[in-house]
Structures are given as C-alpha cells and as structure tokens.
C-alpha cells in the first residue's frame, strides 16, 4: 500500500480508501460482513474509512462504528452531511443549525467523540459559504472535527469557498471528494486544476464507474451488478451514453489484457496516476470484491497504457455528462436562467 499526504494537512493516508456506502441496506451488507471487510482493509494497510450520514439512513455509520470499536486511533475517519435525512425541510443542507445537530447524530452513530474529516456532501445553494464555513470552523475549534472538506463541488464553488474562508478569516476546506474514472474525466478540465492550485487533498469516488470498469460488464453479457438493480437506466445499452461506455469498456479490456492487468487494476491505476489525486475510494460489498480491488494497491500504469486510455476516452471528457453531480443549478432548472 502506498501513502500520500492529504493536501496540506500533514496527515498520511493510504492510496486506496475504504468507502462504506454499501454497508447496510444499500449493498445488502450485514454487520458481520462489514466488520470482516474493515478487518481485511486495515490489515492490507488501508487507514482511511469514508462514510456519510445518509448512507442507508445512518446504518452505514452505525456499522462502521461497531467495526472500528477499540481501534479508533489507527483510522482516519471521514463522514459527510448535507443530503436529505428525512422529508423534513430542515433535515438537510449546510446551515449552522443542521450541521451542529447532524454532526452530533453522526458521532453518536459512529460511537466516537470526533471525526477526522467532515465533508459537505453537496454544495447547498441556499446557504452562504460564510454560514457553512463559520459553523465548520466552530465545530473544529470545539474538537468535534479535525478537518473539513467538500464533496462533488463545481470548480467555481471550490474557488468561491476558498475566497470566503480568507475573506472572513475562517478555516478552509482542505479536501474535495469528486467522482472520477476513466469513463468520467470531466473534472480534469476544471476541478482538478483548482484543487492543485489550492493544495487540496482529493478523494475520488466511483473510480470503477458504478461497476462499468469492474470487468463484470462486457458486450453480450447480462448486466447483473448491484447498482443495476436500482438504477437500471444507467445500464440500459440502448441509451446512447451507455452504448458509448460499453464500446469504451470493450476497448479498455483489450488494453488491460495486453498489459497483463485486470480491468480493476487498470481503472484504479488510472485515477491513482493523476498527480492531483490523493486516494481512490473503493466500495466493496463483499470480501471477494475487496480482495480484487486491493490487488490494484500498487499498480503503476506505464506511459504507453495511459496513452492508450487517452486514445479511447479523451482527457476531460465525460461519456455520461447527464450523470454529473456538480452541474450548476441553472443548467438543470430553466427558471434560473430566464428573467
């Protein structure tokens, strides 16, 4: 396992990090299975575990808490807040009121007195940067969080938050957690140059592109990944963007074969090769999944392989741009771009 410094924090984290989104009802992973996955991940050298309050309605945090009991000090523990936790309008977002309440809920579910990294799950257009940063700074000073970061922020919002922190003399985001894979490379255009400019640590999620790059999805095979059961539209081969992904996967599979690599090694080696990326978040549902992904921990892709990938999916290109989670609201809501 390789270790890298998380932005400018001085904290050393593993190049693969354990994402716990599949713990609980989302991935049908039981407590015993989750604990076994955490055990194996820590034994392999992973020292960063990432979860969120909304994963399985808090169940993921509870399962992580049970799995790490007695060894908290050996783990860089990260969680997130901001996505809806109920139908109540106030149970979401990044207001001071909600973050103070929800962090206490996360600490209770995790069974800890602090988290190392607290992340705003999505940019909240209804809350000012000053409000959010002020709340996070106070939680940091209270010792409940060590650092805080953003997740899936558009590049211009990353810049704006850095400016707001300086303008109001508040602590700043030290990490960003974007989606990044061979098939979704859009962040190379704006977000990654910005994170490099500001010295942010980058924890990328979905490096296997929701299973597209796991090796399980190939031409002529029935798609039976867990994600396809509740998001079938993202795997319907009659949809043009999915067809483009499948065509790319077939070409990438040949690149992997020629290099003597699995598709997982190719996919994780690709994201790890970008100098802006600190860690790739893997989200195994089973021990077998974990072991297949751990095999990529020390994969270093040659220049020839990286060039071959570039020829299949060009730098900065998203093959499924409609699935982006950092699209400015005005592009999604016509009323926001019309007087």
Is 147 an annotated catalytic residue?
no
Q: Residue 288: exposed, middle, or buried by beta-carbon count in 10 A (0-12, 13-18, 19+)?
A: exposed
Reference 138, options 179, 95, 181, 178; nearest CA is: 95
| Location of structure tokens 């995790």 | 110
Residues making up the chain, counted from first to last: 339
Can you list the positions of beta strands (E) in 24-111? 48-50, 76-81
Can you list the positions of beta strands (E) in the chain? 3-5, 12-14, 16-19, 48-50, 76-81, 115-120, 145-151, 175-177, 201-204, 279-282
Spatial separation of the C-alpha atoms in residues 159 and 197, rounded to whole Å? 10
Q: Which residues pair with 119 in a beta bridge?
A: 80, 149
Question: Of these residues, 3, 55, 156, 180, which one is catalytic?
Answer: 55
Q: What are phi and psi of 80, to 5 degrees?
A: -140, 160
Active site residue ranges = 55
């Amino acid at each position: 396992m390789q270790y890298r410094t998380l932005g400018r924090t001085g904290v050393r984290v593993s190049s693969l990090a354990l994402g716990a989104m599949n713990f609980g009802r989302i991935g049908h992973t039981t407590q015993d299975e989750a604990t076994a996955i955490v055990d194996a991940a820590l034994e392999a050298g992973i020292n960063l575990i990432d979860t969120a309050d909304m994963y399985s309605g808090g169940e993921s945090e509870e399962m992580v808490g049970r799995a790490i009991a007695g060894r908290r000090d050996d783990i860089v523990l990260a969680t997130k807040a901001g996505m809806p936790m109920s139908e109540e309008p106030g149970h979401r977002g990044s207001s001071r009121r909600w973050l103070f309440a929800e962090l206490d809920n996360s600490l209770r579910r995790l069974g800890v007195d602090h988290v190392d990294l607290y992340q705003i799950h999505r940019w909240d257009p209804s809350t000012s940067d000053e409000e959010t940063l002020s709340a996070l700074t106070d939680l940091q000073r209270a010792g409940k969080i060590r650092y805080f970061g953003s997740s899936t922020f558009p590049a211009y919002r990353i810049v704006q938050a850095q400016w707001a922190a300086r303008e109001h003399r508040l602590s700043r985001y030290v990490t960003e957690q974007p989606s990044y894979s061979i098939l979704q490379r859009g962040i190379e255009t704006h977000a990654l140059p910005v994170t490099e400019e500001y010295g942010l640590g980058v924890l990328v999620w979905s490096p296997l592109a929701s299973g597209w790059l796991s090796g399980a999805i190939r031409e002529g095979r029935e798609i039976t990944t867990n994600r396809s059961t509740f998001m079938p539209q993202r795997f319907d081969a009659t949809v043009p963007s999915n067809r483009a992904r499948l065509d790319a996967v077939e070409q990438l599979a040949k690149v992997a074969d020629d290099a003597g690599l699995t598709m997982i090694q190719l996919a994780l080696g690709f994201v790890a090769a970008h100098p802006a990326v600190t860690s790739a978040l893997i989200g195994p549902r089973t021990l077998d999944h974990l072991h297949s992904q751990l095999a990529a921990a020390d994969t270093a892709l040659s220049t020839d392989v990286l060039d071959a990938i570039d020829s299949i999916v060009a730098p900065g290109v998203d093959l499924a741009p409609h699935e982006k989670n950092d699209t400015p609201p005005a592009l999604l809501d016509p009323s926001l771009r019309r007087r």
